Amino acid sequence: MFEPQPKTRTMKISEVRSGLNTLVNEIYREETRVVVAKSGIPVAALVSIDDLERLDRLDQEREERFKVIDKVREAFRGVPDEEIERETDRILGINQELPQSVSSTRE
């Protein structure tokens, strides 16, 4: 089920300070997210625990993906970039043709 995203608003730190209790309740109910600005520059955000946990999960997933990329990079250490690009293009070309050849063998 689709849940509407909370609205995001930017507030001065003085506004956040004076309305913190109300803001925390709105954030808890996932009605709002707050970008805190200091001298007009966004410096922090107030978000729900669910948002923070989601961000943590995304960071962890991103880290895992980069570990895979690092392993691939290590496996090809010393191979010129041009050769990797050429071979990748060649393999992708083969893979792009594969569905057509598979479908033609089924007829």
User: Could you state, in order of their start, the residue ranges of all structural domains in the chain?
Assistant: 1-47, 49-94
The CATH fold assigned to 1-47 is YefM-like fold (3.40.1620)
How far is Cα 33 from Cα 15, in angstroms, rounded to an integer?
Answer: 14
What residue ranges of the chain have pLDDT lower than 70? 1-2, 95-107
pLDDT value of residue 1: 60
pLDDT value of residue 107: 46
The vertex-61 CA angle with 1 and 8, nearest 5°, equals: 55
Determine the distance from the C-alpha atom of residue 33 to the mean position of all C-alpha atoms in its chain, rounded to a whole number.
18
pTM flag (> 0.85): no
